[in-house]
């Protein structure tokens, strides 16, 4: 007779539990998303995202400083421009809002990682992620016409101080176009963090308020992925890797933990997951009502995303979690 297997032997002592723990969450895993807008001394809290703000450049510098104090070392920036047009041209202007933010931050925070989101939905007057054209009797985003603009936006961000570019528009060929643009401008060392498997998700609602970027008509179903698909995510990732992506993102995170795991198992490349605005808002709302323990649930969620296979997590919980992990 074999002795009865007892898994509880490894749970009985707290120090043993610490030794056998498979996933250790750390502040080094976090990337904090921040929203920058024009003006001075502006810090507008986003109603559906408590503790997150639209910040003018001066207040953004303060916010990054406070986050760095807590140990957060990586940030991704979203711009809210003053003027919008059909192309989203302010996205690649030298004095665009994100470029201004980078020029203010770069000299102050030399060792901090400044990542830029690369997309046009915040900059176009129609709120779609690229230039429009008519296709099969419908207005739709023109994939190939959008690519050169994406490359221009990335180069402009890097010239202003960005360390990593993160294209989020789900255009086919975006990674190749950006790689070519960066290399031609002498930015061969800049990594591309591609939003490779980004789903057309209801969980982006609060973000679209924060970034003032909802589509003015229609939806994003012709470029973002159908939530029902999983094999397709592997094809998206394979193509982005072939085109030169350095880090692969799955977004959102919580309803897509299976995708994170499949991609990690298949490709074994560095992976990011975006714990998006709606996922954050649900936790905040339920804990405001006293229905869940915010600290416990947040750390459990972030740990589960890492356990699923993400090496890094874009999360609005970064500051709270950094405090709790201290
Ligand atoms: C822009 C973009 C979106 C998010 C990140 N980049 C919104 C969208 O696709 O509509 C969502 C992030 C979040 O919900 O936290 N392409």
Phi, psi of 226 (to 5 degrees): -70, 125
The arithmetic mean of pLDDT across residues 85-108, rounded, is: 97
In a domain, 198, yes or no: yes
Rounded CA separation 321/26 (Å)? 9
Give the integer Cα–Cα distance in Å for 38 and 51. 20
- At residue 143, the pLDDT reads 95
For ligand 1, whether the C-beta of 208 sits within 6 Å is: yes
- Which residue from 48, 120, 121 has its CB within 8 A of the most atoms of ligand 1, so it is best to mutate? 121
CB-CB contact of 182 with 194 (8 Å): no
Of 128, 168, 217, best ligand 1 pocket probe by most atoms within 8 Å of the beta carbon = 168
| Helix, strand counts (H, E) of the chain | 11, 12
Residue 268 falls inside a structural domain: yes
Return the pLDDT at 2: 67
Cis upstream peptide for 25 (omega within 30°): no
309 CB neighbour count, 10 Å cutoff: 18
Q: Check pLDDT > 80 for residue 70.
A: yes
Is residue 243 lining ligand 1, measured as CB closer than 6 Å? no
CA of residue 208 to ligand 1 center, whole Å: 7
Split into its structural domains, the chain has a count of 1
Q: Does residue 7 belong to any structural domain of this protein?
A: no
221 lies in a domain?
Answer: yes
Q: Calculate the alpha carbon distances from 158 to 39, 153, 173, 195, 203 in Å.
A: 23, 9, 20, 18, 29
CB of 276 within 6 A of ligand 1: the answer is yes
- Residues carrying an active site annotation: 198, 251
pLDDT at 135: 87
In-domain check, residue 17: no
Residue 247 covered by a domain: yes
CATH label of the domain that carries residue 47: 3.20.20.70
Residue 269: pLDDT band with limits 50, 70, 90 = very high
- Residue 63 CB: number of other CB atoms within 10 A? 19
pLDDT for 182-205, tens place per residue? 999 999 999 999 999 999 999 999
Range of the domain at 130: 23-325
Q: Is residue 14 part of a domain?
A: no
- Check the CA dihedral 245-117-124-107 and report its sign: negative
pTM for this entry: 0.97
Q: Is residue 274 part of a domain?
A: yes
């Amino acid at each position: 007779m074999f002795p009865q297997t007892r898994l509880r032997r490894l749970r009985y002592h707290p120090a043993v539990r610490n030794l056998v723990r498979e996933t250790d969450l750390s502040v080094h895993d976090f990337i904090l998303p921040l929203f920058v807008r024009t003006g001075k001394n502006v810090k507008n809290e986003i109603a559906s995202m408590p503790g997150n703000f639209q910040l003018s450049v001066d207040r953004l510098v303060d916010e990054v400083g406070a986050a760095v104090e807590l140990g957060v070392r990586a940030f991704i920036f979203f711009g809210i421009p003053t003027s919008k047009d059909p192309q989203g041209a302010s996205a690649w202007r030298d004095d665009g809002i994100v470029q201004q933010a980078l020029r203010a931050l770069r000299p102050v925070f030399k060792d901090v990682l400044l990542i830029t989101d690369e997309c046009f939905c915040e900059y176009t007057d129609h709120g779609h992620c690229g230039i429009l054209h008519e296709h099969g009797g419908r207005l739709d985003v023109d994939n190939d016409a959008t690519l050169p603009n994406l490359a221009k936006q990335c180069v402009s961000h890097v010239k202003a101080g960005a360390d990593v570019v993160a294209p989020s528009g789900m255009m086919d060929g975006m990674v190749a176009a950006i790689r070519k643009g960066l290399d031609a401008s002498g930015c061969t060392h800049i990594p591309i963090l591609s939003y490779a498997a980004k789903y057309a998700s209801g969980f982006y609602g609060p973000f679209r308020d924060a970034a003032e970027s909802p589509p003015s008509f229609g939806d994003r179903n012709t470029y973002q992925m159908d939530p029902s698909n999983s094999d397709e995510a592997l094809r998206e990732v394979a193509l982005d890797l072939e085109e030169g992506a350095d880090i692969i993102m799955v977004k959102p995170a919580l309803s897509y933990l299976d995708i994170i795991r499949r991609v990690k198992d298949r490709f074994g490349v560095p992976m990011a997951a975006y714990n998006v605005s709606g996922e954050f808002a649900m936790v905040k709302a339920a804990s405001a009502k006293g229905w869940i323990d915010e600290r416990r649930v947040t750390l459990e969620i972030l740990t589960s995303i890492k356990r699923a296979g993400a090496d890094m997590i874009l999360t609005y919980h970064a500051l709270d979690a950094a405090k709790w992990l201290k």
